[in-house]
Amino acid sequence: MPAPPGSKSGAGATADVALPMSARSGVALEESGAPLWAIVFAGGIGSRFWPLASPERPKPLLALVTGQPLLADTIGRLQPDIPPDRVLVLTSRDIAPAIRSIVTGVPEQNILVEPRPLGTAAALAWGAQEVIRRAGPDALCVAMHADLAVGFPDALRLTLRRAAALTQREQALVAVGIRATRAEPAFGWLHLDGALDAAAPVAAGGAAIVRQFVEKPSETDAVQALAAGAYWHGGIVVAAAGELLRALDAHCVEIRPGLDALRDGNLPTFVGMIRATSIERGLLERLPRLLALPGDFGWDDVGTWASLRRARELDDDGNGAHGPVHFVDSESNIVHTERGTVVLYGTHRMLVVALPGLTFVTPLDRATDLKPLLDALPGSLRINPGGAK
């Protein structure tokens, strides 16, 4: 189980881990008992996890946080509130066979394979329309990315039930917010405009009105957002399926032209009439009314190799390892080995990935953006490094 952001776990970790805010809060928040559906976005190879990620082993299949693939972790932690038969997995054609190999509990008809990269806004529309077809427009949906680390699954499910009750009551989309701990420009930010209910303050887990949603701000703006008390967007949105489609139709101009075809069940026409955009850019930044519900469940975004120092269990010196590794006089390193033992001596904040036929070494600070590296490498290394399977 991953540790909450900012905590230390693994060998030598202290035993008294603080309960998440949602378990400590004195604010009584309503919970929905209605059936929930999940729309899980699991597309893309995940080039930021080169050389481990490949077409044969895309990012959703990587066991980056626990011993299970990210997608399996995501589906598993939703249960029993959202069983596999109410989980829709949106993925891309190039990795669909690999995805099917690990989601054995999810029915085949629940794996929606994009004929081309659609962007998460169009994927959300397709997923919402599929939920409407099966369960009606009032069915409640949890739309989320498959690459999230969660330290407290019980607290996550509690947050989702509360978000579902909130969206039912307010007829608005609800984004799950995470208390920001650093000025992270790679995240979306929720600038809050006060509590929705004065009796349930945001600091105690109450819902908030979002004044502005900003996706991936500049470093300067991220610093200002942190100072202003803004929250991170947790990559989770909750709303009724019909409300999701109405919001996309009203505000996401990139996919609006194809929505009638989607409602008619004509997926090829829908795909041909839309432009790819993300939920964050295409919808959340444009919504005139968006609500946020803070979540405290040991969240982190597994976006880069460097993020694993927050999401993985670490030793007393802040090192994280997969496979046989010996750290000697070394601190704050990440090592992933599938080709024998790795020994680090006198190193600090290094990344080592050892695969059959290829070993990759870089400072963790340089591992946040690998595009310049991949652009400089031969295509055979970028696509299938070392022939790793």
Cα–Cα distance list, 93 to 41, 98, 100, 238 (Å): 13, 10, 11, 26
Please state, rounded to an integer, the average pLDDT across all residues of the chain: 88
| Whether 281 and 359 share a structural domain | no
Residue pair 222/118 in contact (Cβ under 8 Å)? The answer is no
Read off the tokens for 197: 């209910």
Per-residue pLDDT tens digits for 70-109: 999 999 999 999 999 999 999 988 888 888 888 878 999 9
What is the enclosing helix (H) or strand (E) of 114? strand 111-114
Cα–Cα distance list, 18 to 96, 154, 246 (Å): 39, 14, 40
**Is residue 277, in this structure, part of any structural domain at all?**
yes
| Whether 289 and 328 share a structural domain | no
Q: What are the b/e assignments for 190-213, b being 16+ CB within 10 Å?
A: bbbeebbeeebebebbbbbbbeeb
Instruction: Choose among 188, 240, 206: nearest CA to 35.
Output: 240
**Is residue 260, in this structure, part of any structural domain at all?**
yes
Among 301, 325, 354, where does a domain finish? 301
* Residue 98: per-residue pLDDT: 85
Sign of CA dihedral 49, 320, 144, 237: negative
Per-residue pLDDT tens digits for 257-272: 999 999 999 999 999 9
* Residue 388: per-residue pLDDT: 39
**Is residue 358, in this structure, part of any structural domain at all?**
yes
Per-residue pLDDT tens digits for 325-368: 999 999 999 999 998 999 999 999 999 999 998 999 999 989 88
| Whether 350 and 249 share a structural domain | no
Whether pLDDT at 307 is above 90? no
| Whether 129 and 265 share a structural domain | yes
Per-residue pLDDT tens digits for 216-240: 999 999 999 999 999 999 999 999 9
The residues facing 88 across adjacent strands are 39
Q: How sure is the predictor about 13, in pLDDT bands with cuts at 50, 70 and 90?
A: very low
Residue numbers of the domain that contains 145: 21-301
The residue among 91 and 304 whose pLDDT is bigger is: 91
Whether pLDDT at 15 is above 80? no
Cis upstream peptide for 80 (omega within 30°): yes
Cα–Cα distance list, 367 to 148, 175, 305 (Å): 19, 29, 6
| Whether 32 and 175 share a structural domain | yes
| Whether 293 and 345 share a structural domain | no
Domain count, the chain: 2
Among 270, 301, 332, where does a domain finish? 301
Read off the tokens for 228: 């202003």
Cis upstream peptide for 51 (omega within 30°): yes
Per-residue pLDDT tens digits for 120-179: 999 999 999 999 999 999 999 999 999 999 999 999 999 999 999 999 999 999 999 999
Pairing outcome for strands 208-215 and 188-195:
antiparallel
**Is residue 276, in this structure, part of any structural domain at all?**
yes
Instruction: Choose among 151, 54, 136, 4: nearest CA to 358.
Output: 54
Residue 225 sits in a domain whose CATH number is: 3.90.550.10
The residue among 376 and 306 whose pLDDT is bigger is: 376
- CB within 8 A of 351, min separation 6: which ones? 305, 306, 333, 334, 335, 360, 361, 362, 363, 364, 367
| Whether 268 and 356 share a structural domain | no
**Is residue 262, in this structure, part of any structural domain at all?**
yes
Q: How sure is the predictor about 3, in pLDDT bands with cuts at 50, 70 and 90?
A: very low
Among 268, 301, 334, where does a domain finish? 301
